[in-house]
C-alpha cells in the first residue's frame, strides 16, 4: 500500500529487480486501473505475478475487516486467498471479498465504490442541511439517529454522521472545506469516457470543488451579468 | 395511514365529528407537513389532539420494526409512547424513534428522509451502471455483494440491490421506468424555498422524470439545434 | 409594474374599486402565473379586463425595446396592441411580442424565459472560469470577445460579459454572491410539478444558493464524514 | 482541417517530411489541446511552425465568417493574419478573432466554447419543454420567437431554435437522440482536472448520454430497489 502514481510506480520498478519468478506483488493502494496494466506488464517480464486490490473500510477496517476487491489471474488470486481472508470481515467470503476480474478490475471496482461514496455523502449532507433549515424540526440530530434502525436510508455512513453530530453538536466549527482524494474524479472521467450518465456523482464532486474556492469566478460572472442587464449592482457580499 | 391529500383530509374531517375531546389522531401516512398544520387546527377546535408520524421501513418494517419520526405536543407524544414502542425496531428507542418537534415535524423529517433516499438510490444506480460498462470488471454482482461488509458504502439499500441482482441477474427485463411517490418533489421544492442547495436530490429526481419520458422535448430541441448549426442531421435514433 | 405578491394584489384590489366596466388592467410586473388567475377573477367581477405581460430587457429596454409576452383574452390584447407596439423592439411584431395564451400565459412565458436565463448565465460563468484556470490560455477576455461574432455561442449575454470584463478586468473585486429574484425558483418548482427534467436550471439555481452561504452545512457533514471514516481530519479551511 | 486523433497526427507526420523550414502548419480542426503540444514539437524539430486554430460557426460560417481562436507564437500568428482576416466575420478583428496564447490555447478556447454551447443548448431545451408542458401557454413557438429581440435570452442559438420550430412544428418526428462530438467531454474532464465546478456542463452532457440509452441500467437499479423495499413492482413501462 503505497501512494498512487510515482511512488507506486517506483516501488514496482524496484521490486521488479529484487523479486524472483513466481513471486506475487499485491498493490493494495489506490492506483488508477490503467496503471495496473502497466505494472502487471512490467512485472510479468520478470516472471512476477501482479494483483491489484481495492481496500475499503477506512480507519475502522483494522477492527472490523476491510472490504476487498481484487483483480488479476484466478490462480494467483487463489494462491493469496489466505491473505485476503485474514483481512476481510468475518462471515461469508463473498460478503467482503470479490475477485472482480483481470488485472485492474480490483482498482476499477474500488474507484466505482468511491464514486458511489461521494453521492451518498452529499445526499446525507443535503438532507442534514434541509433539516437544519426546517421551520418545524427541532431535533435534527435526533432525526438522523432515529433513521439508523428500521428505515430505508440506514447505513454505516449515517451512523458515522450521527457519531459526528454527537461529538460536535451542530458540527459547530467544522470547516465546510471538503477535499477529495482523486478517485471520485477518476470515476467521473471514466463515466464520461464510457458515456455513462452520472449526474449525482458529478453534482457531489462539483459541490466539493466549490467548497474549496475562496471566490468562484463563475459566480462572479453571474453577478456581473445581473448587474449589466438589470442594474442589480455588485459588491462585497453581506455574508462573506 | 391513509393516502395523503383528499383522503386524509376527508378522514380528518370525519373523525373531527366522531371523536371526543382528549382523543388523539395520529396521521401515520405521508401527508405534506403543511397539511399537518391544517389538520391539527381542525381537530384542536373540537378538543382532539393530533400527531403526525413519518414511518419508514417499507414492506420489511412488519418484521424488523419501522423507523418513526413524530411531530406534535410533547405530552401527547408521551401518552402514545407505548404505541410507538410497539412499532419501532427493538433496541434503544432513540435509534428508531424521534420526537422531531411540533406539529408537522414528523412528516417534515420523513420528507427529508425520502429526499435522501432518492440520492442514495441514484448513487448506487450510477455505480452499478459504471461497473456494467467497465472494460475490466467481470463480476459486477460480486462487487456489489463484496461491499456489503466492511466497506464505506455498506447500507441496507446496497443489500437490497444485491438481493435484486440475485433474483434477477443483470436486472434483465426490469424496466428503467422509475416512478416517484411525491415526497422527493416536496423535499426539493422545500429546499428551493429555503434556498438550500440540493444538487444531488435534484439530479436524482430529474433522472427519474427523464426515465419516464417516451420522448424528451428538451433533447429534441438539442438535436434540432445541432442540425441547424452543424448540419449533423436528425432522424429516428438507431436505438429507440 | 408593481412588485409581485402583496403590492400587486393590493393594487389590483384598489383598482377594482376605482375602475369602470370595460377598463383594462395590465400587470407588467413579475407576478406568479397563479396569481394572475386570482387577479383576473377579482377584476372580472366588476367588469374590468385583465392582461398579464411579462417584460424582458432590463435597463436596456428603454433604448432598444422590451420583449413582451402577454396573456389574456384575444380581443383585449387586440385593443391594447398600440401600447405593446410602442414598447416592443422595432421590426416585426412577432420578433419581440407574443400573445402567449389565456390569463397567466404571459407571466408563465416570462418565468420560463428567466429559468433559461439562469442556465445561460451559469454556462458562460463556468466557461469563463475554465478559461481562467487554463494552463495555456493567456487572453481570457480576448477569447470571450472573439466569440461575439460568428460563433455558435454568440448572444447578448455574452456581449454583456465582455463589457463587464472590459469595465472590470478579471472581474477583480466583484463579489461572487449571486442573488435570485425568485422566477428561477418558480420555474424549477413548476418543472417539478410538471415532471419536466430541468437539470441545468437546477444546477444553476443551486450554484446561486451555494454562492450565498457563509458555511455549507451539507459540506460540513461531508467533511465530518471524511474524518469519521478516513481520519482525514477537519478544521478551518486554509482558504476561507 | 482534418478529423482529430489519428488522422490529424498522421497528417502532421506526413507534412513534417514534406515541408521546408519556415513553413507553417495550421491545425484548424478540433484537436485536443494536449495533442497540439506533441504536434508542435514534431514540426519544430524540422523547423516548421505550428498554429492551432479553433473554428466556430458551423455551416453558416461560410457566409458570415468564422469565429477564430488561435494558439502559437506571436510572430507566426502575425504572419498568418491575412488568412485569419479572410475567414473571420467582417468588422473589428477582436470581435471574431483572438490570439489566445501559446500552442494549444486556440484549441483550449474552442473546447471551452463548445462546453458552454452544451449548457446553452440544454438550457433552451429545458425551457422549450416547460413551455410545452405548460397548462396555460398556447403558442410555444411564438414565445420563443418573441424572445429573439429585446430580451435577455436572445442569441443566435435561440434564432436557430425558432427556425427549427418553423421548419418542423412541435419538432414532430425529430429524434431526441443527441450525439456529442467529444469536445464537451474534454471540457468537463479538463474542468475535473482543474477542480473547476461545472455543474451545468455536467448536467447537459449527462442529459445527452442518457438520451442515447435504450435502457438505463442505473434507473433499472432504482426501479428494482423501489420494488425491493416498497413492493412497488417493476415491469415494462407503460410508455416505452
Residue C152: closest CA among chain D residues belongs to which residue? D57
D179: closest CA of chain A, how far (Å):
10
Q: Are residues B120 and B173 both part of a single domain?
A: yes
Assigned domain for B119 exists? yes
C97 and C120 belong to one structural domain: no
Query: What's the mean pLDDT when you consider all of chain C?
Result: 95
Q: Which three cell numbers stand for residue B97?
A: 424513534
Q: Is the pLDDT of residue A199 over 50?
A: yes
- Smallest CA–CA separation between C5 and chain D, in Å? 20
Provide mean pLDDT across the span C162-188.
96
Mean per-residue pLDDT, B138-160: 97
- pLDDT of C92 over the 50 cut: yes
**Which residues touch C50 (CB under 8 Å, ≥6 apart)?**
C24, C25, C26, C27, C36, C39, C40, C43, C44, C72, C76, C103
Q: How far is B46 from chain C (nearest CA, A)?
A: 32
Q: Confirm or reject contact between D73 and chain C (CB < 8 A).
A: no
- What one-character DSSP code corresponds to residue C89? P
Interface of B with D in 144-163 (CB under 8 A): 157, 160-161, 163
Task: Please name the member of B100, B108, B151 whose beta carbon is closest to the beta carbon of A57.
Answer: B151
Tell me which of C44, C79, C102 is where a domain ends.
C102
Q: Which residues in chain B have Cβ-Cβ distances shorter than 8 Å to D172?
A: none
Residue to test with chain B: of A95, A116, A204, A209, most B Cβ within 10 A:
A116
To the nearest whole Å, the CA of B57 is away from the closest chain A CA by 5
- Shortest distance between the Cα of A169 and any Cα of chain C, in A, equals 12
Q: Over D31-43, what HEC string results?
A: CCHHHHHHHHHHH
Nearest CA in chain D to A196: D209
Q: Residue C97: helix, strand or coil by DSSP?
A: strand
pLDDT for residue C236 is more than 70: no
- Inter-chain contact A67–B151, Cβ cutoff 8 Å? yes
Question: Mean pLDDT across chain B, nearest whole number?
Answer: 95
Dihedral (CA of B233, B235, B237, B238) sign: negative
List the single residue in D with minimal CA-CA distance to A207. D197
Residue C218 lies in a domain: no
Which residues of A, range 158-217, sit inside 8 Å of C by Cβ? 160-161, 163-165, 168, 171, 174-179, 199, 203, 207-208, 210-217
Which residues between 5 and 64 in chain A have a beta carbon less than 8 angstroms from any beta carbon of chain C? 58-60
Residues of D in contact with C136 (CB under 8 A): 33, 71, 100-105, 108
Answer yes or no: do C237 and A212 touch at CB < 8 A: yes
Q: Whose grid coordinates read 428551493?
A: B192
C199 and B206: CB-CB below 8 Å? Answer: yes
- Check whether A25 has a pLDDT greater than 90: yes
User: Phi and psi of C186, rounded to 5°?
Assistant: -60, -40
Q: Is C73 on the interface with D (CB under 8 A)?
A: no
Statement: residue C96 has pLDDT above 50:
yes
Q: Do C210 and B203 touch (CB under 8 A)?
A: no
| Same-domain pairing of D182 and D98 | no
- Is C234 a domain residue? no
* Cα(D219)–Cα(A199) distance, integer angstroms: 12
Residue B189 sits in a domain whose CATH number is 1.10.1040.10
Residue of B nearest to C151 (CA): B229
Query: pLDDT tens digits for C28-66?
Result: 999 999 999 999 999 999 999 999 999 998 788 888 899
Name the percent of chain C lying above pLDDT 70: 97
Of C185, C206, C218, the CB nearest to B202: C206
Contacts of D64 in chain B (CB under 8 A): none
Neighbours of B230 (CB within 10 A): 14
Nearest to C141 by CA among C185, C186, C171: C171
Q: Do C221 and A161 touch (CB under 8 A)?
A: yes
Three-state secondary structure of chain B: CCCCCHHHHHHHHHHHHHCCCCCEEEECCCCCHHHHHHHHHHHHCCCCEEEEEEEECHHHHHHHCCEEEEECCHHHHHHCHHHHHHHCCCCCHHHCEEEEECCCHHHHHHHHHHHHHHHHHHHHHHHHHHHHHCCCECCHHHHHHHCCCCCCCCEHHHHHHHHHHHHCHHHCCCCCCCCCCCHHHHHHHHHHHCCCCCHHHHHHHHHHHHHCCCCCHHHHHHHHHHHHHHCCCCCCCCCC
Which among C22, C24, C25 has a CA at the least distance from the CA of C9?
Answer: C25
Phi and psi dihedrals of A222, rounded to 5?
A: -60, -45
How far is it, in rounded angstroms, from Cα B52 to Cα B62? 20
Q: Please tell me whether residues C83 and C122 are part of one structural domain.
A: no
Closest CA to D208 of D185, D233, D240, D231: D185
- Tell whether C86 and C117 lie within a shared domain: no
Q: How buried is residue C133: exposed, middle or buried, by Cβ count under 10 Å (0-12/13-18/19+)?
A: middle
If you ran DSSP here, which 8-state letter would residue C227 be given? H
3-state secondary structure of A135: coil
Cβ pair D209:A197 closer than 8 A: yes
pLDDT 10s digits, A138-181: 999 999 999 999 999 999 999 999 999 999 999 999 999 999 98
Say yes or no: B116 contacts chain A, CB-CB below 8 A. yes
User: Which of C192, C207, C210 is the closest to B189 by Cβ?
Assistant: C192
Mean pLDDT of C109-138: 98
Nearest to D33 by CA among D88, D71, D83, D78: D71
What's the pTM? 0.96
Residue B41 counted as domain residue? yes
The domain that contains A72 carries what CATH number? 3.40.50.720
Minimal Cα distance from C192: which residue of B?
A: B185
Could you tell me the residue range of the domain that residue B79 belongs to?
6-102
- Counting one residue from A and one from D, how many pairs have CB atoms under 8 Å apart? 48
Beta bridge partners of C152: none
CA distance B2 to B13: 13
Beta bridge partners of B155: A155
The pLDDT value given to residue D59: 81
Q: Does the residue C237 lie in any domain?
A: no
Q: State how many domains chain D has.
A: 2
Separation of alpha carbons D38 and D36, rounded Å: 5
Tell how many helices (H) and how many strands (E) occur in chain D.
11, 4
Are B89 and B171 part of one and the same domain?
A: no
Q: Counting Cβ atoms within 10 Å, is residue B64 exposed (0-12), middle (13-18) or buried (19+)?
A: middle
Quick one: average pLDDT of A95-110? Answer: 98
What's the rounded Cα separation, in Å, for the pair A155 and B123?
A: 14
Q: Which of C189, B94, C227, B114 is nearest to A127 (CA)?
A: B114
* B115 and B94 in a common domain: no
Chain centre distance of CA B211: 17
Could you say which DSSP state residue C98 is in?
Answer: E
Give catalytic residue positions of C.
Answer: 110, 117
Whether A207 and B190 lie within 8 Å, measured CB to CB:
no
Q: Look at B156 and A156 and tell me if their CB atoms are within 8 Å.
A: no
- CB-CB under 8 Å, C189 with B197: no
> Which residues in chain D come in under a pLDDT of 50?
236-240
**In terms of CA atoms, which chain A residue is nearest residue C168?**
A224
Tell me what pLDDT residue A237 has.
44
**pLDDT > 90 fraction of chain A, expressed in percent and rounded:** 92
Residues of B in Cβ contact (< 8 Å) with D203:
203
What does residue C59 show for φ and ψ, rounded to 5 degrees? -70, -10
Residue C56 near residue D150, CB atoms below 8 Å: yes
B148 lies in the same domain as B173:
yes
Question: Are the C-beta atoms of residues D163 and B224 closer than 8 Å to each other?
Answer: no
Q: Are residues C97 and C115 in the same domain?
A: no
> What is the least distance, in Å, from the CA of C135 to any CA of chain B?
29
The strand pairing partners of A137, in sequence order, are B101
What residues pair up with B116 in beta bridges, in sequence order? none
Residues of chain D with C-beta less than 8 angstroms from the C-beta of C30:
none
Non-local (6+) Cβ contacts of D146 within 8 A are C67, C68, C69, C94, C95, C96, C97, C98, C100, C109
d(CA C113, CA C98): 13
Question: Quick one: cell of A196?
Answer: 455513462
Q: Are strands B67-71 and A67-71 parallel, antiparallel or unpaired?
A: unpaired
Q: Point out the residue among A112, A136, A152 whose CB comes nearest to the CB of B108.
A: A136
A58 & A149 share domain: no
Indicate whether B151 pLDDT > 90. yes
What strand order describes the sheet that includes A24-27? A24-27, A49-56, A67-71, A97-101
pLDDT band at A63; cut points 50, 70, 90: confident
Confidence at residue C238, expressed as pLDDT on a 0 to 100 scale: 39
Say yes or no: B96 and B115 in one domain: no
In this predicted structure, what is the pLDDT of residue B230?
85
Residue C104 sits at the chain D interface (C-beta within 8 Å): yes
- Chain A CB within 8 Å of residue B123 CB: yes
CB contact under 8 A, B198 and C213: no
Give pLDDT, residue A238.
39
Do D218 and B122 count as a contact with CB atoms less than 8 A apart?
Answer: yes
Residue A239's pLDDT band, with cuts at 50, 70 and 90, is very low
Give the Å distances, CA to CA, from C2 to B10, C54, C60, C110, D143.
Answer: 39, 12, 19, 15, 23
Nine-digit cell string for A12: 514496482
Residue C36 φ/ψ region, left for φ over 0, alpha for ψ in the -120 to 50 degree band, beta for the rest = alpha
Residues D173 and D130 in one domain: yes
State the pLDDT confidence band at C234, using cuts at 50, 70 and 90: low
Choose the final residue of a domain: C102, C128, C158.
C102
Cell of A182: 482523486
What is the set of active-site residues of D? 110, 117
Cross-chain CB nearest to C218 (options A128, A224, A229): A128
Out of C104, C130, C151, the one facing D198 most closely (by C-beta) is C130
Amino acid at each position: 500500500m503505497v501512494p498512487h502514481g510515482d511512488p507506486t510506480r517506483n516501488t514496482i520498478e524496484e521490486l521488479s529487480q529484487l523479486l524472483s519468478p513466481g513471486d506475487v506483488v499485491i498493490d493494495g493502494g489506490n492506483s488508477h486501473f490503467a496503471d495496473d496494466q502497466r505494472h502487471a506488464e512490467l512485472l510479468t517480464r520478470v516472471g512476477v505475478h501482479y494483483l491489484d486490490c481495492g481496500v475499503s473500510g477506512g480507519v475502522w477496517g483494522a477492527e472490523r475487516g476491510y472490504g476487498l476487491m481484487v483483480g488479476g489471474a484466478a490462480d494467483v488470486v487463489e494462491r493469496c486467498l489466505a491473505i485476503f481472508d485474514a483481512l476481510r470481515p468475518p462471515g461469508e467470503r463473498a460478503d467482503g471479498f470479490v475477485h472482480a476480474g483481470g488485472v485492474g478490475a480490483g482498482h476499477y471496482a474500488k474507484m466505482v465504490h468511491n464514486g458511489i461514496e461521494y453521492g451518498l455523502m452529499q445526499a446525507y449532507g443535503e438532507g442534514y442541511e434541509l433539516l437544519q433549515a426546517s421551520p418545524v424540526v427541532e431535533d435534527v440530530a435526533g432525526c438522523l439517529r432515529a433513521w439508523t434502525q428500521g428505515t430505508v436510508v440506514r447505513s454505516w455512513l449515517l451512523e458515522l454522521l450521527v457519531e459526528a453530530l454527537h461529538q460536535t453538536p451542530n458540527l459547530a466549527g467544522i470547516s465546510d472545506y471538503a477535499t477529495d482524494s482523486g478517485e471520485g474524479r477518476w470515476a467521473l472521467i471514466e463515466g464520461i469516457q464510457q458515456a455513462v450518465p452520472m449526474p449525482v456523482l458529478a453534482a457531489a464532486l462539483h459541490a466539493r470543488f466549490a467548497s474549496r474556492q475562496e471566490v468562484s469566478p463563475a459566480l462572479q460572472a453571474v453577478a456581473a451579468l445581473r448587474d449589466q442587464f438589470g442594474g442589480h449592482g455588485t459588491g462585497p457580499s453581506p455574508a462573506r
